[in-house]
Chains A and B, each alone.
Chain A
């Protein structure tokens, strides 16, 4: 116990003296949460749209003004003809071109299907799809209002869709991003700092000095991991405070549960950091390997994209992706107020990964030295 205390004291003194890491621990969560949450948005606003209106009727100008009023679109000057509209898309000055053909209003009044054409720059396919969906909504609404005004009847609608958005009624994208960014943050601290710290001792030769002392390997490992567990939990707390104060992210569920699962998750990632360090002999190597894992884990995790849309093999890979489980856990607890009973699958996954990684790491660490 005295030895463990002495080793912990050593670690904390070293962390305290390392000004770069100390600053990073404070600055990283603030910068990531302030900048990334705002910048990495999938919300569609201010899409540039140009309209070529060949009908020039009451109905077509109603459609145009409704589009103009919508926050999603910003109206560009009408092109003189379709060709110049297309070349505007090619130049990138507009994202969408709406072509309203002659006879649009006449068809509508006659009860026929009236047609418009939407040309979209689909380099960003998600943006193009969303823009298309928004346009459909707007067009549908204009037609309905027009019909009511002109004929005083509500056109019969065979199916009417009503939507209710649960758990995030205002579709606030930030509520979705904050838990994800928080997980990345905690993970970086867990994985990078631990593995770098251990490899540094290898580079300096001090680990050899430790190995000839009667310090037990288990004591040494605990002394190495505990400080980063504490720092990781501190980051989690700091991140939650920032999320609450700045973005007013709801905390529906139990904070105890968040920190409980967070501890388990961090133990797993610290194990991964330890494992990576046993394979590396320089800080350069371990940084590169950690970076590889980090990138794969982040992009597969569902932080930006929906996991349900991934191909089946991708979803299978996620079974061993700790980020995937913890992001799901964080979103569910914060936004839905999920309890342990709702999260047994994710917690089971995290538990499995934590046990496996720590076992592998300790086994490898013993063998390597």
Chain B
């Protein structure tokens, strides 16, 4: 196998829905501790790929290994070593902040002592200790997203998958959100993030750009810009997705 510094190994991943090929022979590797951006227009096949990596969906063919486990045969082990946050907000609206933390903490096998300690730490870092017993449904979208991310990394997973985590939130919140992502990366958590905000792509260590189910570019943001002779990731993206 490839060097063990890779936490995600994908080789010739194909996913078909009937005649439609959503992912066409994807091959890429993600290094431990890096922030890996997964870009593409709507419908390019990003969400399909992320679902396969998380064990939510089974690949039609190809090899996919996440944190050392094969997603086809060891999906339960994959699941306990990752965190996931989808574009659809996914904490329970009718539970309080702490009840959500307790629920997901317990599911990932944290003891009640750990849950207490980590939730206190997390809430003070976010600066919302006093919101501990508020219902999630009464919080603003920005706070919900930041909380959902914090809950997704509560059990210190090897990798966290973020599927368009910042869609629909204001620029300030997006910035704060990326600060949380950097904090997590500093702690050694690999971040796999899809987005279609090109300024966010600049924050990533490496990015891949998907077009029509294929990977059409994979490099660091500066590498891509010089390759394509563009000033910004925005231009790179437009050049790749609309060649004419």
Contacts and interface: CB of A to CB of B under 8 A. Distances in A.
Contacts of A216: 76
B210 interface: no
Nearest to A206: B90
A6 interface: yes
A10 B54 contact: no
Nearest to A204: B93
Interface stretch (A13-21, A233-241, A282-290, A341-349): A13-21
A10 B102 CA distance: 10
A154 interface: no
A211 B56 contact: yes
A205 B94 CA distance: 14
B106 interface: yes
Contacts of A211: 56
Interface in A1-59: 2-3, 6-7, 9-10, 13-14, 17-18
A213 B76 CA distance: 8
Given A3-B106, A214-B107, A10 B90 contact: no
Contacts of B93: 204
Interface string B98-138: 01001110111100000000000000000000000001000
Contacts of B55: 212
A15 to B, nearest CB: 10
A208 B47 CA distance: 13
Nearest to A5: B106
Given A10-B103, A14-B95, A214 B90 contact: no
Interface residues of B, number: 26
A282 to B, nearest CB: 14
A214 B106 contact: no
B72 to A, nearest CB: 16
A209 B86 contact: yes
A215 interface: yes
B92 A14 contact: yes
A212 to B, nearest CB: 4
B90 A17 contact: no
Nearest to A16: B94
A205 B95 contact: no
B94 A209 contact: no
23 contacts: A2-B106, A3-B106, A6-B107, A7-B107, A14-B92, A14-B95, A17-B94, A17-B135, A204-B92, A204-B93, A205-B90, A206-B90, A206-B92, A208-B86, A208-B88, A208-B90, A209-B86, A209-B90, A209-B91, A213-B104, A214-B107, A215-B107, A216-B76
B84 interface: yes
Contact of B86 (A2, A7, A205): A205
Contacts of A2: 106
A209 B95 contact: no
Nearest 4 pairs of A and B residues by beta carbon:
A205-B88, A209-B90, A6-B106, A214-B80
A18 B88 contact: no
B90 to A, nearest CB: 4
A204 B95 CA distance: 13
A168 to B, nearest CB: 46
A9 B109 CA distance: 16
Contacts of B197: none
A3 B107 contact: yes
Contact of B95 (A10, A215, A369): A10
B46 interface: no
Interface residues of A, number: 22
A13 B79 contact: no
A17 B84 CA distance: 27
Nearest to A10: B103
Interface string A184-223: 0000000000000000000011101101111110000000
Interface in A321-365: none
B79 A214 contact: yes
A205 B103 CA distance: 16
B111 to A, nearest CB: 9
A213 B103 CA distance: 11
A214 B78 CA distance: 8
A226 to B, nearest CB: 16
Contacts of B99: 10, 13
Contacts of A209: 84, 86, 90-91
Contacts of B89: 205
A214 B108 contact: yes
A362 B162 CA distance: 29
Interface string A41-79: 000000000000000000000000000000000000000
A17 B137 CA distance: 12
A217 to B, nearest CB: 11
Contact of B76 (A6, A7, A208, A214): A214
A6 B94 contact: no
Given A208-B56, A213-B79, A18 B84 contact: no
Nearest to B90: A209
B82 interface: yes
B56 A212 contact: yes
Contacts of B107: 3, 6-7, 213-215
Interface in A97-127: none
B76, B86, B107, most chain A CB atoms within 10 A: B107
Interface string B69-87: 0000000100110101010
B90 A213 contact: no
Interface string A291-314: 000000000000000000000000
